[in-house]
Structure 1
Amino acid sequence: MSRTHVITGAASGIGKSTAELLTQRGDRVIGVDLRGADVNVDLSTPEGRSELVDRVTDLSDGVIDTIIANAGLATPTATTVAVNFFGTVATLTGLRHLLAASSAPRAVATASMASLFPPDDALLEALTAEDEPRAMERASELEAAGGDAASQIYGTTKRALARWIRRNAITPDWAGAGIPLNAIAPGVVKTPMTEAFTGTEEARTAILKTVPMPLNGIFEPRDAAYLLAWLVSTENAHLCGQVIFIDGGSDAVIRGDSTW
Structure 2
Amino acid sequence: MPRTSVVTGAASGIGRATKELLERRGERVIGVDLHDAEVTADLSTASGRAHLVEGVRGATGGSIDCIYAVAGLSVPGPDTVAVNFFGTVATLEGLRPLLRNSPAPRAVLVSSMAALLPSDAELVALLSAGDEPGAIARAGTLAEEPSTGQLIYASTKLALSRWVRRQAPAPQWAGAGIPLNAVAPGVISTPMTAELIATPEGREGLLKVVPMPLNGIAEPIVVARALAWLGGEENTHLCGQIVYVDGGSDAVLRGDSVW
d(CA) in 1 for partners of 2:243 and 2:178?
17
Partner of 1:188: 187
Structure 2 unmatched runs, 5+? none
Equivalents in 2 of 1:5, 1:252: separation in Å?
Answer: 32
> Residues of 1 paired with 2:125 and 2:215: CA distance?
35
Using the TM superposition, give the Cα deviation of residue 258 of structure 1 relative to its aligned residue in structure 2, in angstroms. Answer: 2.2
Show the counterpart of 1:213.
Answer: 212
Runs of 4 or more consecutive aligned structure 1 residues displaced over 3 Å after TM superposition: none
Q: Secondary structure at the match of 1:109?
A: strand
Q: How does 1:60-79 map to 2 (within 5 A)?
A: 60-79=60-79
Q: Distance in 2 between matches of 1:128 and 1:138?
A: 13
Q: C-alpha separation between the residues in 1 aligned to 2:63 and 2:42?
A: 23
Match of 2:122 in 1: 122
Asked whether 1:99 is paired with 2:90, we answer no
Q: Could you state the TM-score of these two structures normalised by the residue count of structure 2?
A: 0.99
- Tell me, in whole angstroms, the C-alpha distance in 1 between the residues paired with 2:253 and 2:217: 17
Question: Does residue 149 of structure 2 align to residue 176 of structure 1?
Answer: no
1:128-161 deviations in Å (ceiling 9; x for gaps): 10110110110010112x2110000000000000
Secondary structure of the residue aligned to 1:195 is coil
> SS of 2:7's equivalent?
strand
Aligned counterpart, 1:57: 57
Q: What letter matches 1:207 in structure 2?
A: L
List per-residue Cα deviations over 1:15-41 (Å, max 9, x = no partner).
000000000111000000011111111
Give structure 1 stretches of 5+ with no counterpart.
none
One-letter amino acid matched to 2:131: D
- CA distance in 1 between counterparts of 2:77 and 2:133 reads 15
Cα displacement (A) at 1:255 = 0.4
Quote the Cα distance in structure 2 between the aligned partners of 1:55 and 1:251.
37
SS in 1 for 2:109: strand
**Cα deviations by residue, 1:103-137 (Å, 9 ceiling, x for unpaired):** 00000000000000121011011001011011011
Q: Distance in 2 between matches of 1:258 and 1:180?
A: 24
CA deviations over 1:173-223 (Å, ceiling 9, x no partner): 000000000000000000001112222211111100000000000010001
Any idea what SS the aligned residue of 1:67 has?
Answer: strand
The two structures have a TM-score, normalised by structure 1, of 0.98
Instruction: Give identity over the alignment, percent.
Output: 59
Q: Which amino acid aligns with 1:110?
A: V
- Match for residue 136 of structure 2? 136
Q: Which has the larger helix fraction?
A: 1
